[in-house]
Amino acid sequence: MSLTKLTLMLFSTLFLTACSDDKTQVEISSAEVKSTVKAPSYVISRSAYQQQIYGFWLGQNIANWTGLITEMDKVGTPETMPFYTDEDWGSKDLPAIWGEGVPHADTIDFFFVNKGQPWGADDDTDIEYMYYHLLEQHKTSILSAEQIREGWLTHIYSETDAPLFKKFPDSKPMVENFLWESNQQARILMAQGMLPPATSEPKNNNKYMMIDAQLTTEIFGLLAPARPDIALKIAHLPIRTSAKDEAQWISEFYVVMHSLASSVDKSLSLQQQTMWLATQARKQLPDETYPAKMFDYIKQSYSKNPDKNNWEKTRDEVYQRYQIEQADGYLYKDPFEAGINFAASMVSWFYGEGDIVRTIQIGSLTGWDSDNPTATWGGLLGFMIGKSGVESAFKQDNLSDTYWIHRTRRGFPDRTPEQEGEDTFKGMAKRGITIIDRIVLEQMAGQVDLEKNIWLIPKV
């Protein structure tokens, strides 16, 4: 049988798998789908990767909802409102800069959702979920500008058609579309007919330097295992939907880390693995830019600090050096900027030393937009240790695996009509494998071996 026919057979089966609900068991032919793979190649188990994707979604949601408790509580006014430290863990949550706390917790601690209730979508997970859906819907390995615009307008509310939302049971209902900063401006521009990457050009979007792209695009790294070059290719337009220049390079840094997590040397300790990932991704940052200089400074501060529990020392240096002194070409203006939050994220990454629990704890206490770096690292570390690793790390055996995408977005199929929410991490992980199958074949010239249940991914 020809390669073309074999490829078509695989895609036909994969589409049935992707379109089936979570309960449907779909038999896949044991035929090998081959391409012109030449040694050396990465050999990656599809079944193991599925559990890792589950770990990504679970870890990201734990970290997101834990980090939301302290989001914008501390944004760099230590004289009147001192930064959090380890001593504050387990204490009462203070109001954010807008004068309110959060409805889901009043104590600074890890937040879990148990079986029977869904994890709520938030801006750290819902647009990634949307991109996942668009790749399936369009049967493509790389989204076009038109597909991105159509997806945003279809699945993301505007400021006028969003439903009423009550933050607290006794609060006044408000229209809320769960978009902020650069993403909000990009959505407005798309509604006017503009396409990415024009939606992130500074002349059109004066919020292009904000954190938005980081929290919406990391997943493209996981969709291109061990191949950051392909990850950056498929992530390019999603990143340029809302980011340019430094914010773009920072987002690419995270994408590279997520892709390289598939090729890290597992014989190393988690601390060594996380240091290797960060050091490799640092090569993505142009040396003359402030993100590169931030990375180098924070890594050096961590390395020279004899007390690896005293992460607060480096965090306070970040505040002084970048928010007050505005060193290395960084001009701080806003606590939602990609720059200050990139610096904060590197503090928790280095001092967390590969421990998902400690990394999320430090990230939640570091300050600024604390839910975003924690969600990024919770997802990446969750992927690295997988579903069971996340459950073991947090000593939890009753965590929910359902996901409520319609909390913040609209128009997705309800894959779990008998449960609260619309999807499950298990189903999301399973569909992720079919997305990667297509990317391996179309973008990597790799091989999907269904009999051995592996990918063969050419090295470059």
CATH number at residue 331: 1.10.4080.10
- Pick from 367, 350, 276, 338: nearest CA to 309: 350
Q: How many CB atoms lie within 10 A of CB 269?
A: 10
Q: Inform me whether the pLDDT recorded for 8 exceeds 50.
A: no
Report the half-sphere exposure of 402 (CA within 13 A, side-chain side).
Answer: 17
For residues 294 and 123, give the distance between their C-alpha atoms in angstroms, rounded to a whole number. Answer: 25
Q: Is 207 helix (H, G, I), strand (E, B) or coil?
A: coil
| Confidence at 39, pLDDT banded by 50, 70, 90 | low
For residue 303, what pLDDT is reported? Answer: 98
- Spatial CB neighbours of 149, under 8 Å, sequence gap ≥ 6: 190, 194, 195, 196
The two tokens of residue 374 are 């924690």
| Span 348-366, average pLDDT | 98
Q: b/e per residue, 13-31, with b = 16+ CB within 10 A?
A: bbeebbeeebeeeeeeeee
List of residues 6+ apart from 419 with CB closer than 8 A: 118, 402
pLDDT in tens, 147-198: 999 999 999 999 999 999 888 777 888 889 999 999 999 999 999 999 999 9
CA distance 52 to 297: 32
Q: Indicate the pLDDT class of residue 370, thresholds 50, 70 and 90.
A: very high
**Structure confidence at residue 321 as a pLDDT band (50, 70, 90):** very high
**119-120 and 402-404 strand pairing:** parallel
* Average pLDDT rounded to a whole number, residues 205-211: 98
104: DSSP letter? T
Residue 32 has pLDDT above 60, yes or no: no
Cα 236 to Cα 313: distance, rounded to the nearest angstrom: 35
DSSP state of 403: E
What is the structure's pLDDT at 7?
Answer: 44
Domain containing 183 equals 3-458
What pLDDT sits at residue 73?
Answer: 96
- What is the number of domains present in the chain? 1
User: What is the identity of the amino acid at 392?
Assistant: S
Whether 64 and 379 have beta carbons less than 8 Å apart is answered as no
For residue 317, what are the CA distances in angstroms to 46, 76, 197, 255, 295? 43, 11, 35, 26, 13
Helix axes 371-393, 270-282, angle to 10 degrees: 150
| pLDDT confidence tier of residue 129, bands split at 50, 70 and 90 | very high
Q: β-strand 174-175 against 402-404: which pairing, if any?
A: unpaired
pTM above 0.85, yes or no: yes
Residue 293 has pLDDT above 80, yes or no: yes
DSSP state of 382: H
Distance CA 450, CA 12 (A): 14
pLDDT at 40: 83
Is the pLDDT confidence value at 295 over 50?
yes
pLDDT digits 0-9 by tens, 374-409: 999 999 999 999 999 999 999 999 999 999 999 999
Helices (H), 78-225: 126-137, 145-155, 181-191, 214-217, 219-222
pLDDT of residue 37: 55
Q: What is the pLDDT, as a whole number, of residue 412?
A: 98
Cα 30 to the center of its chain, rounded Å: 33
Strand partners, 180: none
What distance in Å separates the CA atoms of residue 25 and residue 316, rounded to the nearest whole number? 53
Residues 42-51: tens digit of each pLDDT? 999 999 999 9
Q: What is the mean pLDDT of residues 361-385?
A: 98
What does the alpha-carbon distance between residue 197 and residue 200 come to, in Å, rounded to a whole number? Answer: 6
**pLDDT tens-digit readout, 49-90:** 999 999 999 999 999 999 999 999 999 888 778 999 999 999
Mean pLDDT (the chain, rounded): 92
Q: pLDDT at position 38, please?
A: 57
The end-to-end CA distance of the chain, in Å, is 29
User: Band of the pLDDT at 250, cuts 50, 70, 90?
Assistant: very high
DSSP SS3 for 45: strand
pLDDT at position 167 = 80
CB 450 within 8 A of CB 28: yes
